[in-house]
Amino acid sequence: MYRITKQARKFWCLSLADKGLALQTLALLWAIRLAMWLLPYATLRRWVGRLQQPGNPPQDVTLMTNKIVLATASAGRFVPDATCLAQSLTAQTLLTRRGCPHEFRLGVARGDNGGIKAHAWIENNGEVILGLLPDLASYTVLAYPQSGQF
């Protein structure tokens, strides 16, 4: 209960534009997460690709990028099973639509029990801005997909 009250207080202190971004991010993350549960991969891929129409860069690209990353990480706390893939697709969609440069990464690594594990993250100029893991260097990037591809 305390956590919700604290989060609500933080939300109400945001500017109107930041509240809008937070709500848009939360709605998009929910939609992507539900789509991951319900849709076949090919359909999900096409749907997310259609959402990612490139926009014009804002005046302060760094500030907008930081706001989107923060909004995505915050929204992830309110969506059940908001996986790294769901959060990365959400951030990728918002960053693309706002004209902010970024790179979507999908990688695999050996798991502790001999299997494989996968992870998705977002980079900007070679720096991880969403989805940083302590062992991220052990992941092999599968591909360097462009917007609308993953």
The answer to whether residue 123 sits within a structural domain is yes
The answer to whether residue 96 sits within a structural domain is yes
The answer to whether residue 68 sits within a structural domain is yes
Is 60 exceeded by the pLDDT of residue 147? no
105, β-bridge pairs = 121
DSSP 79: S
For 69, 71, 90, 92, 143, the CA distances from 95, given in Å and listed in that order, are 9, 12, 9, 5, 19
Structural domain boundaries, residue 83 = 2-143
The tally of domains found in the chain comes to 1
The answer to whether residue 12 sits within a structural domain is yes
The pLDDT, as a whole number, for residue 41 is 87
The answer to whether residue 148 sits within a structural domain is no
**For residue range 83-123, what is the model confidence (pLDDT) as tens digits?**
999 999 999 999 999 999 999 999 999 988 889 999 999 99
The answer to whether residue 39 sits within a structural domain is yes
The answer to whether residue 149 sits within a structural domain is no
The answer to whether residue 75 sits within a structural domain is yes
